Structures are given as structure tokens and as C-alpha cells.
Amino acid sequence: MTGEPAAQALGGASSAAGGASSRGGAPDRSALVVEHLTKCFGDRVAFDDVSFEVGYGEVFGFLGPNGAGKTTTVRTLGTLIAPTSGSATVAGIPLGAENGPAIRARISIMPESPGLYLRLTVMENLQCFAGLYELDDVRGRIERALRAVNVVDRAGDPCGSLSKGLRQRVALARALLNDPAVLFLDEPTSGLDPVATREVHELIATLRERGVTIFLTTHRLEEAERLCDRVAILNTTLRLIGRPEELRAQLFRRSLDVRIRTPLDDPQALFGAVGEVEGWERVPSGYTLAVSAPDIAAPAVARALVGAGAEILSIAESRHSLEDVYLELIDEDVEARRR
């Protein structure tokens, strides 16, 4: 992974706020280092003892149910609110009130709501933010940002006349203006229809291909699975972190799904006789067999079933989605709270 700046991704010059080198964009450094970060609002804990690292150029998914603390984490890392305890380094700068403006100059946050000035045109909105970032070559930067999100032809339109999807694109263009070292996207597809969602996904995928570091909070699991290199699951505390396939392996044993036309008379006798099968359970669609090596177990199970006269419809390794992982964890939390 490299620390290629977003401006480079957009085909532009490096930021007035600092180029890649001044951002600590070296591959061996982390864009985000979070250590035991906690935020409480009075007695209410928003998130607790959260630690993780995000490398430059990585797309990091931050998942969790509503109220899990995702947005509060983003706001804390964006210096909008102060942590109660713990520490963090954002784009190479220690998190702290005194470093707020410097951190905010090097990152961008696209909040859940686009927050555009609806009476102003797209261009006027972006000009305002270019001024707030004290950018040079304002016109060029705005053009590149608009081109990156495919809304160049709407530059003169009032934001109030744009569809929700287009407003989201303009908000993304605004977030790209300052060539951020880390781009925080907070529920970027929230409330969008499927077409607009797909468009935003394509934009994120394009940024990912170009090496922009993205911190994506979402509760859309297919979105995280499709776009993210690694994901973390937060439910006030950080429950799991890793690549989606690692999380699946961590939470679920490998297994085979067996579908046959009619139920077996004595499944215990049949599956128990196959050495590769470590356990079995009846499910509505057939049987799920716990195995260590599906590639070896599947032919053995097939032979045993054929030998027993069963009519096999399919034998396949069980696929657990990120959603299964997520629901498993959240269910565990619900159970723990009940107890």
C-alpha cells in the first residue's frame, strides 16, 4: 500500500496543506493509529477502549448497529469532539485540541447528511470550502473534484435542484477538494436508492484503486464486504477486526452443506462412519457437516451417501457472509446484555 494523495488520484497537484511526504505517506507508516480510545457523554458510553490501525491506501470498514459509536468515533478522530481517554494519531499528527486545525487540514469527513448549501450552486459550495482549506488553484481543484464524481455538467446548478444521489456526489467532491490523507465516509449510501448507491460504490471503488485511504462507516454489510480491505465491528467496544474472510474463519467452523432428495434413515450411522466428518446437524435444507478439510471430506461424504442409496442434490462448502459474522456478534451482545 502506498500513501498516494487523493489529489494525485484526481490527477492534480499536491495540497496546500502538505504533499504526500509531509503527510507521512510512507508505506511503513499508519494513516490512523487508535489506542484505547474512549468517549463518554456523562454516564453514557459512546465507545469504549477502541484500538486499531489503518494503513495508508487501505479501505477500512467500520461496522456496527445504530448507536454503536461509529459516527462518534469518526467525529473524535476528526477533532470535532474530544475523547474521554485514550490516544490516537491521525495522518501522522497526535490527536488533541491544539492539533485540531492541522489534523482537519489533512483529512476530510463526508458526514451522513451531505450538508450542502441548497440555495448556492455546486460551484459556490465548493468555492466556499476551497477557501476554508486555503487551497491554491481553486478552479482547477474544483474541476478535478467534480470530474472525479462526474458532476462537472451540474457545476452551475443550485444544490437544492439536485437529486439525493447527486448531492451525495457533490459532498464527496467537497471531501476530495483538499487532497485528504485520510477520507472518512460516514454512511455514504444512507438513504440512497439502489442506483445512487451503486454510483457511490463505484466512486469509492475508483478511489480505492487509486490508493486513497478511506475509513468507511456503514451498517451495509455487502458494502463493506465489497469495498473494504479490512473491517472492524464495533458495538460500543470493538468486537472484531480483520479481513472479511479472516472474520468468517474466526467465528465459524468450516462445514459442508449437504442437500439430498429424502432424509436419511440413520444419519448418525452414515456420517459417523466418514472419518473426515467431525459432527453434523439437521437443517431445513438437509444436513450441515462440520469438517476440517472440505476438499477431502466432500468426496468421502458423496461416496457414503451414494453407497447408502441417497439421491444427492448438492454438496458444497458452507459460505458465511459478513452478515453472518455481524449477526453472530450482535446476537452475542444481545444475549450478554440479557444475562
Partner 1 sequence: MSFSRTRVAAIAVKELRDYRHNRFVIGTMAFLPLIFVAAPVVQLLTVSASVGSSKLDSRVGLSLLYMLLIPAIVPSTLAAYSVVGEREQGTLEPILITPIRREEFLVGKALAVAAPTITIAYAIFGIFLAAAALLANHVIASAVFAGSHVLVQLLFTPLLAGWSIWVGIAISARSSDVRVAQQLSVLASLPPLGIVALMQFKVITPSTGVALALAAALLIVDALGWRAVAAIFDRERLITGTRT
In the chain, what is the straight-line distance between the N-terminal and C-terminal CA atoms, in Å? 44
**Measured between alpha carbons, how far is 286 from 1 in angstroms, rounded to an integer?**
44
83 is a site residue for partner 1 (CB under 8 A): no
Of these, 108, 189, 197, 236, which contacts partner 1 (CB under 8 A)? 108
| Amino acid at position 33, single letter | V
119 is a site residue for partner 1 (CB under 8 A): yes
Of these, 41, 250, 285, 314, which contacts partner 1 (CB under 8 A)? 41
Sheet with 44-55, strands from edge to edge, namely 93-94, 85-90, 30-41, 44-55, 237-242, 230-235, 59-63, 214-218, 182-186, 107-110
Q: What is the DSSP letter of 179?
A: -
| Amino acid at position 203, single letter | L
Residue (of 316, 300, 235, 261) closest to 67 by Cα position: 235
DSSP string, 149-166: TT-GGGTTSBGGGS-HHH
139 is a site residue for partner 1 (CB under 8 A): no
What minimum distance in Å lies between the beta carbon of 66 and partner 1?
Answer: 15
Instruction: Kindly state the cell numbers that stand for 51.
Output: 484500538
Kindly tell me which of 109 and 264 has the beta carbon lying closer to partner 1.
109
164 is a site residue for partner 1 (CB under 8 A): no
Of these, 21, 22, 80, 334, which contacts partner 1 (CB under 8 A)? 80
Q: Is 334 left (phi over 0), alpha (psi -120 to 50) or beta?
A: alpha
23 is a site residue for partner 1 (CB under 8 A): no
Residue 71 neighbours by CB under 8 Å, 6+ apart:
112, 186, 187, 217
155 is a site residue for partner 1 (CB under 8 A): no
132 is a site residue for partner 1 (CB under 8 A): yes
Of these, 21, 27, 117, 332, which contacts partner 1 (CB under 8 A)? 117
What minimum distance in Å lies between the beta carbon of 104 and partner 1?
Answer: 5
Kindly tell me which of 78 and 244 has the beta carbon lying closer to partner 1.
78
Instruction: Kindly state the cell numbers that stand for 110.
Output: 463526508
Contact region for partner 1 (CB under 8 A) — 118-126, 228-236, 250-258, 270-278?
Answer: 118-126
Of these, 28, 101, 275, 339, which contacts partner 1 (CB under 8 A)? 101
- How many chain residues interact with partner 1 (CB under 8 A)? 37
Residues that bind partner 1 (CB under 8 A): 17, 41-42, 72, 75, 78, 80-82, 101-102, 104-105, 108-109, 111, 113-120, 124, 127-134, 158, 171, 174, 178
